[in-house]
Amino acid sequence: MIEIHGLSKTFTDRRGDTVTALDDARLDVAENEFLTLLGPSGCGKTTLLKCIAGLVPYDSGTIEIDGRPIQGPGPDRAMVFQNFALLPWASVVDNVAFGLRLRGVARAEREERARELVATMGLAGFEKKLPGELSGGMQQRVGIARALAVQPQVLLMDEPFGAVDEQTRRLLQEELLALWEEQRPTVVFVTHSMEEAVLLGDRVALMSARPGRVAELVPVDLPRPRARGGGPDRSGVYAELTAYLWDRLREMHEEHRTVRTGAPA
Amino acid sequence: MSALRRLPAAPLSLAAGAMVWEVIGRAAGVSFFPPLSTVLDRLGEMAADGALLASVRDSLLNLLLGTAISLVAGIVIGVAMGRSRRVEAALGVYVYALLTAPSLVFAPVFFSLFGAGRGAVVAVIVMYAVFVVIVNTAAAVQAVPAHLEEMARSYGAGERQLLPRVVLPAATPMIMAGVRLGVGRAVTGMLNGEMFIAVVGLGHIVTEAGGSFDSASVLAVLLIVIAVALVAIALVQAADRRLTRWVPQTAKGAQGK
């Protein structure tokens, strides 16, 4: 469904130096797949996600969704942001309806749909509240509802639970799992947590930093539904996979350190 | 003490100021600084003959026109400068130069251009008020969080939607800070312009009275100007409260109680 070939992207930083974020990256995401994108910080995983979102232009390569090359942001994709990116002056309902409003959906219709999603996300009774009056977890529920409101084919999530506390994160993960197992949208989910990558994903795409590309695709052989009863058994396959991913990530960190200091650690 | 605290601060400090004025005015016993009661008597006399009312109306109309032009032009130019580097590069140097230049030096130019009438006074008011609005608006627009714009673009917003749906609402608190300053400067510009051009409004009365060393009249007009300024600021604050109700109190800092 999403096909990424030879994707390269370089930035120029403030000092004028060239930074290679992505170098010949390739990745295929299947329809209805939940793919988690894991990697060390600075490996370009967020850049890759933003390229898919159409927010960041890339230097070379192709991104196709159902065979159509993407040209900027489109109604087939919706994004959930790490810092929530809610409009602080708009109520919960208006925030959820924001994407619909930009697309010219009539007021009555968009508010009805927004209210339904607000209820789905467990925020009934908070419709008129402003984001500043909500906890971080509730704010991200609004962010997810806003993405779901536009009924995207692909849900792009950029470390969505990175800014909330551990307990809230667990709850949000379970809610997302339940939601996904019911509706089965295609999800690309960026995270820096091995546990989160394994818990949520059908496959984990492990990214390396230099060069910024997908180094390995790790299938997650855990039964679904995983949302029920406090999540999957965290021993067995789960523990093996998270341990394996950490080994790989630590290798990458060590290589990175060697490259930087110019001598073996 | 607790009873005092419950009183609003502004009326209290005004009452104290009035008392000090009266006491010093009486103690000094000089013609160039009459006590408040004398000034208020004179104000009554001036109001009775009708000339004052016409002047006040004149001045208010000047102020209204000048402020309206300053706010509209200031916000439009400020947004353009905030959104476009090219516009900022083209206009920035003029805006900052004129922001710091003494605005009254342009009065003779306006006098020659528009004649000794409303046009010249309004132009002086705009000269006083518009630049601070432009500078604040441009800074406000540039300070809009990039992640909000990115979010809106990810949901398909073009520049036309970004402006009304994201940029302007996000920039409103800071724009309003500029509007507050601009309105204050517009009142100053009104009086200065009218004094310089000296055939209309309150400034005319001040010039005439000042020329004949009639301090009571000068101070009477000053009272009116202060009242006009306070009302103008109160209006701006009311608008500000309505527009920026969403800003958390802690973020407003000193504005909170």
**B206: pLDDT strictly greater than 90:** no
- Domain boundary, last residue among A101, A116, A151: A151
Domain that includes residue A126, residue range: 80-151
Are residues A70 and A162 both part of a single domain? yes
What is the per-residue pLDDT for A118? Answer: 96
Nearest to B153 among A73, A78, A83 (CB): A73
Are residues A88 and A109 both part of a single domain? yes
Are residues A143 and A58 both part of a single domain? no
Q: Report the SS3 class of residue A216.
A: strand
- Domain boundary, last residue among A88, A116, A151: A151
Per-residue pLDDT of A80-133, as tens digits, reads 999 999 999 999 999 999 999 999 999 999 999 999 999 999 999 999 999 999
Are residues A98 and A195 both part of a single domain? no
Q: Report the SS3 class of residue A72.
A: coil
Q: Report the SS3 class of residue A224.
A: coil
Strands (E), chain A: 2-12, 18-29, 34-38, 60-65, 68-69, 77-80, 154-158, 186-191, 203-208, 213-219
For residue A110, give how far its alpha carbon lies from the nearest alpha carbon of chain B (Å): 14
Phi, then psi, of A103 in degrees rounded to 5: -90, 5
Residue with tokens 């705009």: B126
Q: Report the SS3 class of residue A25.
A: strand
Residues B160 and B176: their CA atoms lie apart, in Å, by: 22
Are residues A72 and A98 both part of a single domain? no
Interchain CB distance below 8 Å, A99 and B153: no
Residue of A nearest to B156 (CA): A73
Residue A78 with chain B: CB contacts under 8 Å: 154-155
Contact B187, B195 (CB under 8 A): no
For residue A79, give how far its alpha carbon lies from the nearest alpha carbon of chain B (Å): 7
**B55: pLDDT strictly greater than 90:** no
For A85, how many CA atoms within 13 A lie in the half-sphere containing its CB? 27
Q: Which of A23-27, A57-61, A122-126, B220-224 has the lowest mean pLDDT?
A: B220-224
Q: What is the ipTM of this complex?
A: 0.91
What is the per-residue pLDDT for A14? Answer: 83
Are residues A66 and A132 both part of a single domain? no
For residue A234, give how far its alpha carbon lies from the nearest alpha carbon of chain B (Å): 35
Are residues A85 and A174 both part of a single domain? no
- Domain boundary, last residue among A115, A136, A151: A151
Could you tell me the two tokens for A237? 């396959």
For residue B241, give how far its alpha carbon lies from the nearest alpha carbon of chain A (Å): 13
Residues B210 and B195: their CA atoms lie apart, in Å, by: 10
The domains of chain B, with CATH numbers, are 56-245 (1.10.3720.10)
| pLDDT band (50, 70, 90) for residue B222 | confident
Q: What is the tally of structural domains in chain A?
A: 2
Are residues A29 and A124 both part of a single domain? no
Are residues A129 and A257 both part of a single domain? no
Are residues A247 and A183 both part of a single domain? yes
Per-residue pLDDT of B88-98, as tens digits, reads 999 999 999 99
Q: For CA atoms A103, A108, A109, A110, give the dihedral sign.
A: positive
Q: Which of A5-14, A194-203, B126-135 has the lowest mean pLDDT?
A: A5-14
Are residues A39 and A167 both part of a single domain? yes
Are residues A37 and A164 both part of a single domain? yes
Per-residue pLDDT of A145-174, as tens digits, reads 999 999 999 999 999 999 999 999 999 999
Among A residues 53-72, those touching chain B with beta carbons less than 8 Å apart: 53-55
Phi, then psi, of A154 in degrees rounded to 5: -125, 130
DSSP string across B40-103: HHHHHHHHHTSHHHHHHHHHHHHHHHHHHHHHHHHHHHHHHHHH-HHHHHHHHHHHHHHHHS-G
Phi, then psi, of A192 in degrees rounded to 5: -110, 10
- The domain that holds A174 is classified in CATH as 3.40.50.300
A88 contacts chain B (CB < 8 A): yes
Per-residue pLDDT of A211-234, as tens digits, reads 889 999 999 998 888 877 666 777
